[in-house]
Structure 1
Amino acid sequence: MSALRTLAFLAFLAGVSSSQTLDCSYLGLLSHLNLMTTNEVLSIMRPVKNWTSSTLVELDMLMYGILGVDEKTQTVTSHIWLQMRWKNEFLTWNPSDFCEIYMLTVPRSKLWIPDVNIREDASDTGSVQQSPLVSLYPSGFVYANGRKRLTFTCQLRLFKFPFDTQNCNITFSSANYDVFNIILGTVQSDTTLSSLSERVMITQGEWQLIKLETINQTSTKYNQPQSELIYRVTITRKPMLYVVNLIVPLLYFLILDLASFFISEARGEKLGFKVTVLLSISVLLLILQDMLPSTEDTLPMIEPAGAEGRGQVSPVKSHLPADCPRDHDLLRLILEEVKAARQEAGRKDEKKKKPGRYERLALIIDPVFFALYLLTIIVFLVFIYHGWV
């Protein structure tokens, strides 16, 4: 029994002495990692013990806002959240030696940060909001978080407008390191990043995020191979606004234009109705021209042509003799009046015959033109349907 008591007492003394040697403060860990003073080596040198080893920089991007798409400048504005992870081989510790400290935050200025930029970036630097701190873990992994109001260029294809789907690339690459120094990758999979982006999405406007895809590739820049990480963002337009405000009115005017063939030409209502429909479509085309980008083919310009009506009135002149005429003079005057009346009646008959010929010609042309017009509309609508679907 005395021997057991002696062993228990010695174990207790060993535990007390070991607990007294443990440093449970952040100061002790910072001192152990040589971060108490300014260490320029850790901030300027790529954190590898062997320079031939590459640094794997893993970058996850979440898109939590689609602010707008500018078709004229071919740019997309969005809110993104970025998290970079890499390993610093000089900053490792055993958590059991520091009272199970599993994470440490240090200023960004004290550590080496990968110089990763975005090739398609068209935004200003003031929109970047980076955390002044980075998280350091016992295995040496460093996490740096930041969010950005990103405006990036995108080649928009508007052939199927307003039922279009756009694929835009956001390319991450290093500005100074080649593929032998930095290799870019991701921590999460494409499916996880797409699901998280849809979950945290706060605003989309008239666009909806479909998916995020990641592509790893190596490109050559200045005769040096560089690692690139491409995020392919797929977004689709919500077309209901354009269907209600643009497509439905155009179909309505198309039906009215077809109905104008059944209007009689007798009083000129058909011409006035056609001009009204033409002017209405011209206004809609001007609105559509403001919606579409200037880089696309120019929309048809409709110039209203005015027809000038010219009418001539022939005054009838009557001459009264100053003196009372004699019989033969009176007869000659009556004969001339009769000849003039017959000539005037002949001209009126000719004027009545000419519109008759034109009317018969119009009765032949009008059904043929209506059939061709209807066939053209059907072919156009079928082509548009197959193009959109």
Structure 2
Amino acid sequence: MLSFHLTTFFSGMKFLIFACICGTVCTTAIADLEDDHDPTTSQKLIAALMRKRGPDIVRPKRNAGEPVNVRFKMELYQVIELNERQQYVSVSAWVIERWHDEFLFWDPAKYDNITEVKMHHSHIWIPDTTLYNTLVMKDDDQRRLLYAKVSTEYEKRRSYVEFLYPAIYKFHCRLYLQFFPFDSQECHMLFGSWTSDNHDIDYHSLENSVGTTNFLPSEGWSLMGTAGIRTEVHYVCCPNNYTLMDFTLFLRRRPLFYLVNLVIPTFIITLIAITGFFTTSSTTGVREEKISLCITTLLSMSILMLMVSDQMPSTSTFIPLISWFYMCAIIIISVGALAASFVISVQKFGLLGERLPKRAVTITRFLSYISLTRIPVHLLQQKVILAIGPPIAQPISIEKRLATNT
């Protein structure tokens, strides 16, 4: 009897739990159906605009002969990279495009006085604005297209569309590095429609420069200024001109890094090599460490020059200023090594008591004149004059003296 009551109790509990679950599911489904059948005013407006607009490839002009005037503006955010070797620049920017759409207007009085909505870029017409000198062919890799802001102008039977999106552009820039690391560069960005000429899309600049209000300074480059002009270009393929927006970035390199890591060490190494050449002779009269010092400094110079060559493009049209600097330093150190070898050889001649040719003395005097030094008088008297004069009398041994006396 007890087991029967327990079975009945558990059966009732199962039925109650099942009924609660079914009620919850039904309530949620009914609420979803009510939401689906009761859209908001904004949803109704967007749905009506999409039906009215039609395909997004149709230009927003009722008169097919009129071009769409697109107002273009670029706000520069950061100079990410400037690659000297591969000749390209990478920047982060915010782009603003504005135009009028004659199919997306509505009466605000019919939609709770709503005068502005946001629509996804795939639901409206947008210009195919392209960076002509880009190095990235896939549009999704450089632009992040989001939503466009649509404001109605019901009295004029049109709407005002404002399309804002962030972008990271990587584009070609011809760099002139003759004065590296004290160089300045001009990099151009050419924006325009890739498929439509100026009879379909006509670009105009909102400002005559690139915006820099939110610009983040770069560690390696200083932004000296910007410029923007509108140009029309004629291509052989097409009968009409294409409108392009040409934005120019004026950049100047900050040379402190290169001065500290390349120029100043090279200057110090060269100064040490020159100073070592003018060191005085030792007690033996020979100081061969001069040649070792010159060879060591040449090795250091080759390492520094290798660091510079890794950043320079492989071109034969020009030689950078820093390369001339290293070349002159290497020549000076090499001449110092040759001169040190000559001086050491002359010193060894004098120590051995051998004669020096008069030509060697003439060359020595000429080198002293070039290097603004003077040969000491006692050296001329004791070594040079004796070397070119009569041979030094050899001392007579005791045996010869005894033989002479006998």
For the 8 Å contact 1:136–1:143, the answer to whether it is kept is yes
Read off the aligned partner of 1:238 and give its amino acid letter. Answer: R
Rounded Cα–Cα distance in structure 1 between residues aligned with 2:363 and 2:295: 19
Q: Quote the residue 1:207 is aligned against.
A: 221
Q: What secondary structure, in the 3-state scheme, does the structure 2 residue paired with 1:267 have? A: coil
For the 8 Å contact 2:71–2:98, the answer to whether it is kept is yes
Q: Quote the residue 2:178 is aligned against.
A: 159
Rounded Cα–Cα distance in structure 2 between residues aligned with 1:84 and 1:228: 14
Q: What secondary structure, in the 3-state scheme, does the structure 1 residue paired with 2:164 have? A: strand
* Cα displacement string for residues 190-231 of structure 1 (whole angstroms, at most 9, x for unaligned residues): 2xx433142xx2x62312222221110000022431100011
For the 8 Å contact 1:83–1:146, the answer to whether it is kept is yes
- Report the Cα offset of residue 186 of structure 1: 2.1
Structure 2 residue 55 is matched with structure 1 residue 35: no
Structure 2 residue 134 is matched with structure 1 residue 98: no
Alpha-carbon distance change, 231 to 45 in structure 1, aligned in 2, over 3 angstroms: same
TM-score (norm 1): 0.69
- Report the Cα offset of residue 80 of structure 1: 1.6
Q: Quote the residue 1:196 is aligned against.
A: 213
Q: What secondary structure, in the 3-state scheme, does the structure 2 residue paired with 1:277 have? A: helix
Structure 2 residue 49 is matched with structure 1 residue 44: no
Aligned counterpart for 1:286 among listed residues 294, 306, 313: 306
Q: Quote the residue 2:161 is aligned against.
A: 142
Rounded Cα–Cα distance in structure 1 between residues aligned with 2:128 and 2:280: 75
Q: Quote the residue 1:133 is aligned against.
A: 147
Rounded Cα–Cα distance in structure 2 between residues aligned with 1:245 and 1:353: 48
Q: Quote the residue 1:383 is aligned against.
A: none
For the 8 Å contact 2:52–2:103, the answer to whether it is kept is no
Alpha-carbon distance change, 282 to 128 in structure 1, aligned in 2, over 3 angstroms: closer
Unaligned runs of 5+ in 2: 1-39, 154-158, 342-348, 373-406
- Report the Cα offset of residue 28 of structure 1: 4.6
Q: Quote the residue 1:226 is aligned against.
A: 242
Aligned counterpart for 1:295 among listed residues 315, 318, 321: 315
What is the aligned-residue identity percentage? Answer: 23
Read off the aligned partner of 2:266 and give its amino acid letter. Answer: L
The 5 A counterparts of 1:74-93 are: 74-93=87-106
- Report the Cα offset of residue 267 of structure 1: 2.5
For the 8 Å contact 1:85–1:142, the answer to whether it is kept is yes
Read off the aligned partner of 2:212 and give its amino acid letter. Answer: S
- Report the Cα offset of residue 124 of structure 1: 5.2
Read off the aligned partner of 2:265 and give its amino acid letter. Answer: P
Rounded Cα–Cα distance in structure 1 between residues aligned with 2:144 and 2:211: 23
Rounded Cα–Cα distance in structure 2 between residues aligned with 1:369 and 1:96: 95
Rounded Cα–Cα distance in structure 1 between residues aligned with 2:54 and 2:369: 87
Alpha-carbon distance change, 136 to 367 in structure 1, aligned in 2, over 3 angstroms: same
Unaligned runs of 5+ in 1: 1-23, 310-347, 372-389
For the 8 Å contact 1:35–1:110, the answer to whether it is kept is no
Q: What secondary structure, in the 3-state scheme, does the structure 2 residue paired with 1:138 have? A: strand
The 5 A counterparts of 1:284-363 are: 284-295=304-315, 297=318, 352-355=353-356, 357=358, 360-363=361-364
Q: Quote the residue 1:263 is aligned against.
A: 279
Q: Quote the residue 1:253 is aligned against.
A: 269
With 287-296 and 66-75 compared, the bigger mean Cα shift is at 287-296
For the 8 Å contact 1:162–1:239, the answer to whether it is kept is yes
- Report the Cα offset of residue 160 of structure 1: 1.4
Rounded Cα–Cα distance in structure 2 between residues aligned with 1:280 and 1:130: 48
For the 8 Å contact 2:230–2:244, the answer to whether it is kept is yes
TM-score (norm 2): 0.66
For the 8 Å contact 1:128–1:148, the answer to whether it is kept is yes
- Report the Cα offset of residue 144 of structure 1: 1.7
Runs (4 or more) in structure 1 with deviation over 6 Å come to 300-307
